Structure 1
C-alpha cells in the first residue's frame, strides 16, 4: 500500500484555478518532484494563510502531503522564497513571465524532476524582476535553453553562423542550426542575417550577454518566430500559444510605446 509522505520543497507556481467556493487547484513546478497538482483548501478565503503565494510566477517554499497513487496532492503550507513584486508592475515583464510558466506547464511531464529546468526558470524570473531594459530577450533565451535541457539542443555552429554573409540565411527546423543561404539543411526556414545571428546568441551565449543584445522590433519578431517554429517542429502540439494570443490582444488595445 502506498504510503503518504510529507514533502517540503521549493516551487514555482505555473497556474491556478478556483475550485468550489473557497479552494484552488494549483499546478506547481517543484524542485524535488517536478510538475504536479495540489489542492489548496481555503486558499480563496480572505484570511487564508496562503496569501499571494499561489499566483502564477510566484517562487515559493511549499509543504504538501504526497501519495503516489493520487493525481492531486494536498497543500498544507506555502510561503515566498523570494517576492518578485517588481515583475508584476509592467506589461513586458508580466508578458514574458506568463509565457515562461505556460511553456514549462506544457512541456514538463508530471512528477518528472528536472533540476536544471527548475534552476533556469527561477533564474529567468529573478532576472525579469530586476531587469530595466530588453526584458523580451529572456523569452527566446529561455525557450532555447529549455529545449537543450529536454534533449533537443539547437545545433548552432559558430563557423556556419559566420558563413551567413549575405542578407539572408537558413534555419534548420530539424536541428535548430544556422546555415548560409546556399546550404542544404533539413526543413529549412529562410531568415534575415540579423535575425539568425541574434538567434545564435540566444542559443549559445550566457544570460548576461543575451540581456545586452540589442534588436530592432522587426528583428525581435523574426527571432521569436524562428524560435517558435523550431520548438513547434520539435514538440508538435505541446507548444503552447494561448498566452501569446491573449497578450497580442492586450497589446493591440494599448497605445504603441517604446520597445523593450
Structure 2
C-alpha cells in the first residue's frame, strides 16, 4: 500500500529495541494507529523530539492490514506541548490516556481529533496559572476544561450519560433553582426520574446546580461551558459523581483520577 500523510497527536511511546520504539498516534483521518519508528531511540535520529507525548506532528507512514504495527518513516513537529508545571503535565497525560482508552485502531473520528487538539492548546494556555497550583487543588478553569473534554469524548464515542431526560422513560429532569436532587444511575447511564428510581442500585444524587453545570459542560459550544464559574462545592460534587461514572465505563480505576477528586 502507498504511504499516507496525516496529522497526528502522540498518545504514548514504548521501547521496541535498542534503537527503535513503538508510537501510538491519534490521527485526524485514520483514527488511532500504532507504528514502529525505526531508529527513533538513537541519539541522532530523523524524528528529533516529535514523538514526545501530547505533541502534534505531521507523519508519513506505511499502512499495513491486520493487527500489526504500521511503519512511520517521517514526522515533522507542528505543535509542541511544552509546559513547565506538574499540574499541566498531569492534565495533558490525563487527556491522551482517556483518548487512548476509549478509541479503537483505525476508527476515524475527525471531530475527536479536533476536540483533543483544542483542549491540549487550552491546557497550554493555562500553564501560567497552573504553576502556583497543586495537584490537590488544580485551578477551576483547568478542572472545567477537563470536565468538558471528558463529557464530549464520551459523547463522541457513544457512551455519554443522559443528563437531561430520564435514561429509562425519557421524562425531562428539572434543573431549576429549588428543584429536587436528581438521581443518577451508574449502571443505567444517566439521570432517573422518581418513578424509575426505585429498585435501582449504584445510584447517587446530584443537586440541580451540579446537574445544570454538567449539561453546560457537555455542550460543544464554547460560549456555554467557558463562561461557567464553578464553586468549590459544586465542582467537588460533580467530580465525586463523574469520576465514579468514568471508572464504571473504563471498568477499572485510573490512578491519575486521584488528583481530580476535588
TM-score scaled by structure 2? 0.79
Residues 161-176 of structure 1: matches in 2 within 5 Å? Answer: 161-163=174-176, 165=178, 168-173=181-186, 174-176=188-190
Q: Give the alignment partner of residue 148 of structure 2, picking from 141, 149, 172.
A: 141
RMSD: 2.7
Map of 1:36 onto structure 2: 33
Residues 54 and 232 of structure 1: CA distance in aligned 2, closer, same or farther (over 3 Å): same
Residues 210 and 93 of structure 1: CA distance in aligned 2, closer, same or farther (over 3 Å): farther
Distance in structure 2 (CA, Å) of the matches to 1:172 and 1:40: 44
Distance in structure 2 (CA, Å) of the matches to 1:127 and 1:208: 15
Map of 1:91 onto structure 2: 86
Is it true that 1:150 corresponds to 2:157 in the alignment?
yes
SS at match of 1:57: coil
Distance in structure 2 (CA, Å) of the matches to 1:52 and 1:157: 44
Residues 42-57 of structure 1: matches in 2 within 5 Å? Answer: 42-57=39-54
Map of 2:124 onto structure 1: 129
Partner deviation per Cα, 1:173-230 (whole Å, 9 max, x = no partner):
3243476xx5644663113443333222212362343233222344323312322333
Structure 2: runs of 5 or more not aligned: 130-138, 166-171
Structure 1 window deviating more from structure 2 (64-73 vs 31-40): it is 64-73
Distance in structure 2 (CA, Å) of the matches to 1:27 and 1:157: 36
Distance in structure 1 (CA, Å) of the matches to 2:177 and 2:203: 14
SS at match of 1:162: coil
Task: Give the deviation of 1:62 after TM superposition.
Answer: 0.7
Paired residues, number: 239
Map of 1:64 onto structure 2: 61
Partner deviation per Cα, 1:12-46 (whole Å, 9 max, x = no partner):
11111122222211111111211111111121222
Map of 1:77 onto structure 2: 74
Distance in structure 1 (CA, Å) of the matches to 2:60 and 2:217: 35
Structure 1: runs of 5 or more not aligned: 252-258
Residues 164 and 62 of structure 1: CA distance in aligned 2, closer, same or farther (over 3 Å): same
